[in-house]
């Protein structure tokens, strides 16, 4: 496995809609290696998700995993491979939460996302699956799916007033534990 170079904001791959993965492509050793490399890259950069455009590949493919130790969630999210994902909100309720992105290092901003959603996708073996997600899990899915449509979290923010460097945010804005 290899750690891949992450595209940074300004690279055109991040602003281009991705094309669907074909069943023939998904079965190839090259695409399976790409999935493994995306997982390794996510781990290397302590991310909870990586979309193919973030590693310079314009395919509708993403990986995500949220460890139980992550304070942003109540439940761990197991390693999940999303091939050609489609999401549908489950109601109009939005939650505002802090987001960051490997392609926009060191910055965070408050971003509204649907509270609950339904996801349909293929797994890495080409098997269809559906799931419902809420809270942080739903946020991560929406964030990665935005990458597949050529969007980043900055596009979803209601304004730039909350955009902050992570270090300054931790020092001045986030509540400190007692």
What are 40-93's pLDDT values in tens digits?
A: 999 999 999 999 999 999 999 999 999 877 777 778 889 999 999 999 999 999
CA atoms within 13 A on the CB side of 148: 23
Reported as a single tens digit per residue, the pLDDT across 102-136 is 999 999 999 999 999 999 999 999 999 999 999 99
Residue among 81, 87, 84, 64 nearest 23 (CA): 84
Residues annotated as part of the active site: 144
Confidence category of residue 178, pLDDT binned at 50, 70, 90: very low
Percent of the chain with pLDDT over 90: 87
Average pLDDT, the chain: 94
Q: Work out the angle at residue 66's Cα, subtended by the Cα atoms of residues 89 and 178, and round it to the nearest 5 degrees.
A: 105
pTM across the whole model = 0.93
Q: How far apart are CA 150 and CA 152, in angstroms?
A: 7
More confident residue, 174 or 26: 26
Q: Judge whether 38 and 53 are in contact, CB under 8 Å.
A: no
**Superfamily name with CATH number, domain 12-172:** Peptide deformylase (3.90.45.10)
pLDDT at 43: 96
- Quick check: 177 pLDDT over 60? no
- Per-residue pLDDT reduced to its tens digit, 5-44: 999 999 999 999 999 999 999 999 999 999 999 999 999 9
Specify the 3-state DSSP secondary structure of 107. strand
How many other C-beta atoms lie within 10 A of the C-beta of residue 163?
A: 15
How far lies 2's CA from each of 42, 52, 79, in Å? 11, 14, 18
What are the extents of the domains in the chain?
Answer: 12-172
């Amino acid at each position: 496995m290899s750690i891949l170079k992450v595209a940074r904001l300004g690279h055109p791959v991040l602003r281009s809609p991705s094309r669907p993965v074909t069943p023939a492509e998904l079965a190839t050793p090259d695409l399976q290696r790409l999935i493994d490399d995306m997982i390794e890259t996510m781990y290397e950069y302590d991310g909870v998700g990586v979309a193919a455009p973030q590693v310079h590949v314009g395919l509708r493919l993403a990986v995500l995993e949220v460890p139980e130790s992550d304070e942003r969630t109540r439940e761990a999210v197991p390693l999940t491979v999303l091939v050609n994902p489609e999401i549908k909100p489950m109601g109009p309720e939005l939650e505002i939460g802090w987001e960051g992105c490997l392609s926009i290092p060191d910055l965070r901003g408050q971003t509204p996302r649907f509270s609950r959603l339904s996801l349909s996708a293929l797994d890495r073996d080409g098997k269809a699956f559906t799931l419902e997600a809420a809270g942080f899990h739903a946020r991560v899915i929406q964030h990665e799916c935005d990458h597949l449509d050529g969007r980043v979290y900055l596009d979803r923010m209601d304004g730039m007033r909350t955009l902050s460097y992570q270090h300054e945010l931790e020092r001045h804005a986030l509540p400190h534990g007692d």
